[in-house]
Amino acid sequence: MSLDTALSIARGGLSLVQRQLAQSADNVSNAGTAGYTRKAVDAEAMSSGSQSFGVRALAATRDVDAALNASLNAARSANAAAVAREAILSPVERAQGNPEDASSVGDLSAALNTAFVRLRASPAEPALQQGVLSAAEDLAGRYNDTAKAIVAARQAAHDGMVQDIATLNTGLHDVAGLNAQIIALSASGQSTAALQDQRDAAVARISEVLEVRTITQPDGAISLIGRGGVSLLLGKGADDFSLQPASIGAGSYHGAGGSIPGVMLGGVDVTSQLKGGRLAEYASLRDALLPQQQAELDISAAAVASRLDAQGLTLFTGGGGAVPDPGAAYSVPTNGLIGFSGTIRVGAGVRANLASVRDGTHGVTAVPGGASAFSTNPSGGPQGFTTLIDRVLTYGFGAEVAAGTSQPTLPGTGLGPDGSLTSGLGTARTVQDYAARLVASHTAARAGATAAKEAAGTLLTGLEKKFDERSGVNVDSEMAAMVTLQNAYAANARVMSTVQAMYDSLFAVSG
């Protein structure tokens, strides 16, 4: 080997070590940077035949487990969805009232029953009559508050979707731009590791909005496919996702004939294809769970009002003074069921005449399968009149509409503003049982969301730790590697100084 060759090899080794030291220093300085992965500068031996010419440094690369990264993004989607679900449902649960202070719809239904029981002991007592009125107002107020919270939650879900669409489009634009840069650098043989980190961070942000699968192309670019099969188009001229803001009401729904817009992509409504992530969770809450809870609340309120009305006491009405039939088709607006829980109030007749909670507000004509006949206590009638109170307690709050005749079952299908939803609460026979099941079901929905959030968060934390161990920077290891590199640098420098000394000796002899 000639001295020139030895000098060239040593010089190449110094250059490699310098780049590796610089990369290690960069790794250490970015150890706490979110999304940064460890980079390495590998070497390639140069030779011609049996003759070695040293090494050359390759472009910096990173070592990322694609399968682990995919699992991490799926976990991000699940966690973001669970966090959103809990955040949307928690205000609804709070509006239901605290079971510990007996302020839920179920508890207040029972409290109204108890107020009638007390009134029966002394029907002419104004304070006990007022107690019935107050219990009725409390129950109506709880229905109103809960209905308002459900509508507000649906609005929050839709508004969250609008915000997430903007986040999704920004992320897709970022990925498209980074794809173009990576293709260009890769074609020129330069390192794309830093850009890949940035692209992974953009995909991570997208994954929180919508669960996606990443497919790497031969040129280094990636394409994204939503879990529901939606292709997330990237590149110049690609269509953005869009969703128009909307004002949500109790009767609003998404779909044919509905007033709630859908998520559009390329002129096509893709709302039903969204799977995973916050966006899909918001859509599910807006279009399914919350309208179901609204319908259950409306049915509960209508059942209380109609069953008491059937016995001769119009204790509750809607905003227009009507009492809807809970067995009527829910989705038909003229039936007055949609949003009834938001307008239920103590009837004007009862407010005008407090004694009507004892005497009744109207007579009842017996019909097959319905309540038995009833006549109100006339003016100047018995102060101890209990006929209406007995009917309310036995039949209004009971499982029978009349002796030997069961109350009709409350509907469990055809619910929601579009009639597409179902409920498991319809098997309840009494208004108190239905209300108690309603509260338990709605509370369980929030509790399930909290449990899912905790499980998803634990999984995400575990995967992040595993990813960091696999592809993150270990400062101790980097420092140890830098010591090794310093020794290698010194060795190459010694070779160069030795070769230089040999050159000096040769020049001295030749001189």
pLDDT given for residue 150 in this prediction: 98
148 and 255 belong to one structural domain? yes
Residues 299 and 203 in one domain: yes
Q: Averaging pLDDT over each range in 14-23, 245-254, 426-435, which range is the top one?
A: 245-254
Q: How confident is the model at residue 101 (pLDDT cuts 50, 70, 90)?
A: confident
463 lies in some domain: no
Candidates 105, 144, 150; CA nearest to 343 is 144
Residues 57 and 75 in one domain: no
- Which pair of structure tokens corresponds to residue 190? 């330069």
Q: Is the dihedral of CA 450, 453, 455, 461 positive or negative?
A: negative
**CA triple 48-50-51, angle to 5 deg:** 60
By the 10 Å C-beta count (0-12 exposed, 13-18 middle, 19+ buried), 74 is classed as: buried
Amino acid 18: pLDDT: 79
Does 467 map to a domain? no
User: 189 lies in a domain?
Assistant: yes
Q: Which residues pair with 222 in a beta bridge?
A: 216
pLDDT tens, residue by residue, 456-470: 999 999 999 998 888
Q: How many domains does the chain have?
A: 2
Does residue 179 contact residue 196 with C-beta atoms inside 8 Å?
Answer: no
- Report the pLDDT value the prediction gives residue 334, as an integer from 0 to 100: 95
Residue 488 domain boundaries: 3-63+473-510
In this structure, the answer to whether residues 351 and 487 fall within a common structural domain is no
Q: What percent of the chain has pLDDT over 70?
A: 90
Whether residue 284 is contained in a domain is answered as yes
Residues 323 and 427 in one domain: yes
CB distance 483 to 28 below 8 Å: no
Residue 155 belongs to some domain of the structure: yes
Compute the average pLDDT of residues 72-98. Answer: 95
